Amino acid sequence: MPVPTAPAAPITTAKLSVIEQSKRLAAYTAVDQHILPKHKVIGIGSGSTVPYVVERIVQQGEELNKGRVFVPTGFQSKELIVESKLSLGDVDQFPTIDVTIDGADEVDSELNCIKGGGACHLREKVLAEAAETFVLVADYRKNVQYLGTNFPGVPIEVVPFAYAKVLQNLHHRLGSPNATLRMAKAKAGPVVSDNGNFIIDAPFSLEAMKDPFTLMARIKMLTGVVEVGLFCHMAQAAYFGNQDGSVTVKSRLEGEVIEETISPA
Ligand SMILES: O=C(CO)[C@H](O)[C@H](O)COP(=O)(O)O
């Protein structure tokens, strides 16, 4: 069997920073390995890595794509799908998705991840859950042993009415004294999600982050919390583009997570 190699760098690579090249490499490799001709309903995630996913899907050609429907996780991916002239669908029409590919803020050694850096994690989790196969794509900085190594907090979507109470509970009952409401950059006031909700970013101790499922369940029990940006036991594979042009792949095989590195082409 031929040894898999990462996709060859496209001509425009020279213009991209190393991090952008790594994102593209991860996205291209994941599409090549997971978006197959038989896949007709495809979930498209959010963030800065996902445009490369769509770019690679478009490269598969009109013939394949005309028989497919693409389901977005929010405003950004909806725009991407429409601009790329792909067919748009929604998860209420397609509650079962063949493959969803999405970015991640961090992925641990068990394929758990933090998501919600772009405040889209409610819809992202619905599309992850709807997918037969859920795949993550990211640059090398997101590949960690434990969640919270580099990414500062767990994104939590809350209904606006409850945010102060949820913050108080996080500070005093759940061990996150530095949890804060995420403020908008080019607007006065808080970030408002695509669902009209607020986002809290809650940092936790490494000890708590070592058991993300328990932490996720405890946060989700707080009244007013809509969704938590901890995705546990959901991804089948994660692709990380590396600085040297290789791609590290973590994948679940018979319950075990295995890691391999694909050399540059
Ligand atoms: O969860 C997300 C948005 O809510 C993104 O997928 C996550 O923030 C990763 O984004 P990027 O590819 O820009 O690093």
Cβ count within 10 A of residue 116: 29
Counted residue by residue, the chain has a size of 265
This model of the complex carries an ipTM of: 0.98
Least confident of 6-10, 98-102, 111-115, 247-251: 6-10
The pLDDT of residue 255 is: 87
Span 11-145+232-262 CATH architecture: 3-Layer(aba) Sandwich (3.40)
Instruction: Determine the distance separating the centroid of ligand 1 and the alpha carbon of 201, expressed in angstroms.
Output: 14
CA-closest candidate to residue 47, choices 120, 99, 153: 120
Compute the distance from residue 116 Cα to the ligand 1 centre, in Å. Answer: 6
- Reported as a single tens digit per residue, the pLDDT across 164-208 is 999 999 999 999 999 999 999 999 999 999 999 999 999 999 999
Residue 110: CB within 6 Å of ligand 1? no
pLDDT tens for 41-64 read 999 999 999 999 999 999 999 999
The pLDDT, as a whole number, for residue 14 is: 57
pLDDT at position 5 is: 73
140-156 pLDDT tens trace: 999 999 999 999 999 99
Q: Are 106 and 147 in contact (CB under 8 A)?
A: yes
Q: Is the pLDDT of residue 12 over 80?
A: no
Q: Verify whether ligand 1 is closer than 6 Å to residue 105 (CB atom).
A: yes
Helix axes 18-34 and 50-59, enclosed angle (nearest 10) = 50
Q: Which long-range contacts (CB under 8 A, 24 or more apart) does 63-67 make?
A: 64/37, 67/40
Report the mean per-residue pLDDT for the chain: 95
Q: Token match 């190699």: residue?
A: 5
Task: Name the residue at shortest CA distance from atom 3 of ligand 1.
Answer: 118
What is the reported pLDDT for 6? 76
What the block records as the tokens of 230 is: 């901890």
- Tokens 């969803």 — which residue? 100
Domain ranges of the chain: 11-145+232-262, 154-228
User: Model confidence at 76, in pLDDT bands (50, 70, 90)?
Assistant: very high
Task: Give me the catalytic one of 124, 132, 207, 260.
Answer: 124
CB of 101 closer than 6 A to ligand 1?
Answer: no
Residue 265 has a pLDDT of 76
| Percentage of the chain modeled with pLDDT above 90 | 92
Q: Six-digit token pair at 145? A: 């042993």
Residue 254 known to be catalytic: no
Backbone angles phi, psi at 212, to 5 degrees: -65, -30
Choice from 22, 23, 24, 49 to test ligand 1 binding pocket (greatest atom count within 8 A of CB): 49
What integer pLDDT is reported at residue 142 of this predicted model? 98
Q: HEC string of the chain? A: CCCCECCCCCHHHHHCCHHHHHHHHHHHHHHHHHCCCCCCEEEECCCCCHHHHHHHHHHCCHHHHCCCEEEECCHHHHHHHHHCCCCECCCCCCCCEEEEEEECCEECCCCCEECCCCCCHHHHHHHHHHEEEEEEEEEHHHECCCCCCCCCCEEEEECHHHHHHHHHHHHHCCCCCCCEECECCCCCCECECCCCCEEEEECCCHHHHCCHHHHHHHHHCCCCEEEECEECCCCCEEEEECCCCCEEEEEEECCEEEEEEEECC
Distances (CA, A) of 202 to 123, 170, 265: 20, 8, 41
Longest CA span, the chain: 58
Model pTM score = 0.94
Spelled out in words, what is the top-level CATH class assigned to the domain 154-228?
Answer: alpha beta
Per-residue pLDDT for 210 more than 50?
yes
% of the chain at pLDDT higher than 70: 96
CA distances from 215 to 44, 55, 202, 219 (A): 27, 36, 11, 6
